[in-house]
Structure 1
């Protein structure tokens, strides 16, 4: 019997209602993923980059690295900064550089005392800020701790000895030393300005709750390991995977035990994590500016705490900031490196060599150490113009840091 128009409309209305309810339920179910994806897609937008860099933990999942023990109150001895710095044969205004690179905070420590500390763009001393690749240099120190505890046997060990899943990836047979030196040979496009690059596709996947371990296992190598240096953030992520398996603890827990509870840190820090709770070493560490500087002091003091206790060997510190192979040496004309600065264990070394070294993150994040001048500089920024500039912006910043360090030494 044919349905009456009223019956047809009733059934159609019921179907539309069911569809709307299902759609609403799906939207609620995926709401968190959609919010995270929107956040990641607009992360580097100039209009929102400052708020994004200091508020990632409001949107993305994270794990806390808790500080413990007494805070090391770094003494103050205020000094004036030089008005200018030399770069490419000309003098440039230092205050303009601070503004032009969208500095959100800078602290300069000379001979164990804070000589200069300023905050900008609404930041203050208690602001936690995204470190980006600076966190990779901190993680490299944790490899040193695991080595000296005997949890990692040798840097010559293949990473798949510790993480068997990597045996099915391009990391099969790649050694710990080769991933520390970003010389794994893995094919991975790090161009942050390219929508289709591996690093941007990875960020979108993680925003949707995917496991980063699965991404790492899917990677393939494009050249023999140990022959060419290129920045591959997944090499640092592999270090975290190895540390997790070797220590039996999360990266956050191990970092808390070995560093954040021993260096007199001022505040808890945060690691952004994926859907499985794995720390995102390629981008996800957040801490206060002074605590970044305290880590720099730890390296300046050759692995000693503010109390003078040797907790990481001076030999490891030295090896970490030494380019151990020809392909790690500095220079734009090095045919086996894609980077102008030299490279150690996730640390970069300016040219020409002067004993100084630096942890560098995208958009102007730095921990710079100059042992001869006894200077540590930590800088956080929201410099969106750094993304298309390649190494150029970093090379200029390193020139600024060298100029400041030399000036501090001239005016003790």
Structure 2
């Protein structure tokens, strides 16, 4: 959605977040550029705590889910309050740190630009135009604001429709839903200044950094122009235009340093190559 609004000239990627959300000025997100949010380029500490991804994930869950708050919790109770506690510990764009606050700050920017909620914007730009069979749902915080970085719920069939629209360069049949330039830019290259190779958050620090990250999409850098949206517990939307392949995977994998990362991307690619070769043989 951010890329579409930028394509329409409504969102300036080079602008600071505080230009759109003035109350975030002085925070790690407010002083960052929109492109920093889209590439996980902020260096952040919340409420003076040293950053630890697993701890901050638990704190984020406590913000949006009262039942997950520890005894005696006195921290933020809304996403906006949570973002206001973020302070920069490094220059924006100086490194890659996968952090939910980037997506939440970006979602607030989109709400300010359009004047509508995240769910209404998604419905207008995408969901109502891809032939979705079912409504999709967002988790809400105490202010009734959608959580943009997690908690989105939709059927596998409708997520596949979203992926198929992207595989077809933004089109559904003869109707262009998303500008073709927006879709092709997903794998068009990471902008200068951001890391070219990164690893999934759950990957061991000793593992090779082979993925790229652009506009909140993971890029496997394979020969087929593939890209992927990835959820914390194994949910995946994998789009591979070169293999004519869209894969939706719903999972519930354990997130622990003691549990190896499941090689889903490799499995998807092997599946796609096999189907592609089978289809080619049938054609011949």
TM-score interval, smaller chain: 0.7 to 0.9
User: What residue number does 2:6 align with?
Assistant: 147
User: What residue number does 2:273 align with?
Assistant: 406
**Structure 2 spans left out of the alignment, 5+ residues:** 67-75, 200-204, 280-284
On the 8 A contact 2:237/2:246 being kept in 1, the answer is yes
* Alpha-carbon distance between aligned partners in 2 of 1:390 and 1:320, rounded to the nearest angstrom: 33
| Partner-residue secondary structure (3-state), 1:160 | helix
User: What residue number does 2:234 align with?
Assistant: 364
Greater C-alpha Rg: 1
Whether 1:213 aligns to 2:71 is no
* Alpha-carbon distance between aligned partners in 1 of 2:25 and 2:276, rounded to the nearest angstrom: 50
Whether 1:235 aligns to 2:102 is yes
On the 8 A contact 2:243/2:276 being kept in 1, the answer is yes
CA gap of 1:371–1:389, structure 2 versus 1, over 3 A, is farther
On the 8 A contact 2:198/2:213 being kept in 1, the answer is no
The alpha carbon displacement at 1:362 in A equals 1.0
Q: In angstroms, what is the RMSD of aligned CA positions? A: 2.4
Choose the corresponding residue for 2:15, options 157, 176, 182. Answer: 157
* Alpha-carbon distance between aligned partners in 2 of 1:211 and 1:339, rounded to the nearest angstrom: 34
CA gap of 1:302–1:237, structure 2 versus 1, over 3 A, is same
User: What residue number does 1:167 align with?
Assistant: 25
Whether 1:250 aligns to 2:109 is no
The alpha carbon displacement at 1:301 in A equals 1.2
On the 8 A contact 1:341/1:348 being kept in 2, the answer is yes
On the 8 A contact 1:355/1:371 being kept in 2, the answer is yes
| Partner-residue secondary structure (3-state), 1:173 | coil
The alpha carbon displacement at 1:289 in A equals 0.3
Note the 1:330-341 alignment, pairs <5 A. Answer: 330=197, 340-341=210-211
| Partner-residue secondary structure (3-state), 2:137 | strand
Whether 1:316 aligns to 2:182 is yes
CA shift digits 1:349-401 (9 cap, x unpaired)? 12556411111111110000111111000000112x2x11499525x111001
Choose the corresponding residue for 1:226, options 51, 75, 93. Answer: 93
| Partner-residue secondary structure (3-state), 1:269 | coil
**Structure 1 spans left out of the alignment, 5+ residues:** 1-141
User: What residue number does 1:191 align with?
Assistant: 53
| Partner-residue secondary structure (3-state), 1:343 | strand
On the 8 A contact 1:170/1:221 being kept in 2, the answer is yes
User: What residue number does 1:377 align with?
Assistant: 247
Choose the corresponding residue for 2:261, options 382, 385, 393. Answer: 393
* Alpha-carbon distance between aligned partners in 2 of 1:340 and 1:210, rounded to the nearest angstrom: 37
CA shift digits 1:275-327 (9 cap, x unpaired)? 101111121210000111111112111111x2222232222222233323364
User: What residue number does 2:72 align with?
Assistant: none
| TM-score, scaled to structure 1 | 0.59
CA shift digits 1:252-272 (9 cap, x unpaired)? 111111111100001001011
Paired residues, number: 259
On the 8 A contact 1:293/1:367 being kept in 2, the answer is yes
* Alpha-carbon distance between aligned partners in 2 of 1:307 and 1:359, rounded to the nearest angstrom: 23
Whether 1:307 aligns to 2:173 is yes
Whether 1:260 aligns to 2:118 is no
| TM-score, scaled to structure 2 | 0.84
* Alpha-carbon distance between aligned partners in 2 of 1:390 and 1:187, rounded to the nearest angstrom: 26
CA gap of 1:329–1:296, structure 2 versus 1, over 3 A, is same
Choose the corresponding residue for 1:203, options 26, 38, 61. Answer: 61
Greater RCO between the two (CA within 8 Å, min separation 6)?
1
* Alpha-carbon distance between aligned partners in 1 of 2:259 and 2:107, rounded to the nearest angstrom: 26
* Alpha-carbon distance between aligned partners in 1 of 2:233 and 2:210, rounded to the nearest angstrom: 17
The alpha carbon displacement at 1:144 in A equals 2.2
The alpha carbon displacement at 1:250 in A equals 0.5
User: What residue number does 2:216 align with?
Assistant: 346
